[in-house]
Chain A
Amino acid sequence: MSNIALALQDQGHLAASRAKMEEALAVYRQIEAEAEIARVLENIGDLLLIQGDLPGAQLKFEEALRISQHGNDKSHEGYALEGLAQVFLQRGELNDAEKANDAALKLRVQIGEKGIAAESQIELAQVRIEQDRYSDAEQLARQAISQFKNEGEVDDQGSAFALLAKALLLQGKTEEAHKAVDSALAISKKTENSGIRFFVFDDGGASVG
Chain B
Amino acid sequence: MFSTTAAQVWAENGSAATAINELNSIIAESRKYGYIAAGLEARLALGELQMKAGKTKDGVLSLSALQRDATERGYKLVASKAKAVRDESKREDHKISASR
Residues of A participating in the B interface, judged by any CB pair closer than 8 Å: 12, 14-15, 49-55, 89-92, 130, 158-159, 161-163, 165-166, 169, 174, 177-178, 181, 184-185, 188, 196, 198-201, 205-206, 208
Contact = CB atoms under 8 A, between A and B. Distances in A.
Question: Number of contact residues on B: which range applies?
Answer: 20 to 34
Given A169-B5, A201-B3, 8 more contacts: A14-B33, A50-B36, A50-B37, A92-B77, A163-B2, A165-B5, A165-B9, A205-B10
A161 B35 contact: no
Centre residue among B2, B37, B73, B80 by max chain A CB count within 10 A: B2
Contacts of A90: 37, 74-78
B13 interface: yes
Contacts, number: 108
Interface string B1-42: 111111011101101001000100110011001111111101
Contacts of A14: 33-35
A92 B76 contact: yes
Contacts of B26: 199
Contacts of B12: 169, 174, 177
List 6 tightest A-B contacts by C-beta distance, closest first.
A162-B2, A52-B36, A199-B3, A92-B77, A92-B76, A54-B74
B36 A205 contact: no
A95 to B, nearest CB: 13
Contact of A161 (B2, B8, B42, B80): B2
Contacts of B2: 158-159, 161-163, 165, 181, 184, 188, 196, 199-200
B9 A169 contact: yes
Nearest to A58: B74
Centre residue among B4, B6, B42 by max chain A CB count within 10 A: B6
Contacts of B10: 205, 208
A52 B77 contact: no
21 contacts: A50-B35, A51-B35, A51-B37, A52-B40, A52-B75, A90-B75, A91-B76, A92-B76, A163-B5, A166-B8, A174-B12, A181-B9, A184-B5, A198-B29, A198-B38, A199-B3, A199-B4, A199-B29, A199-B38, A205-B22, A208-B10
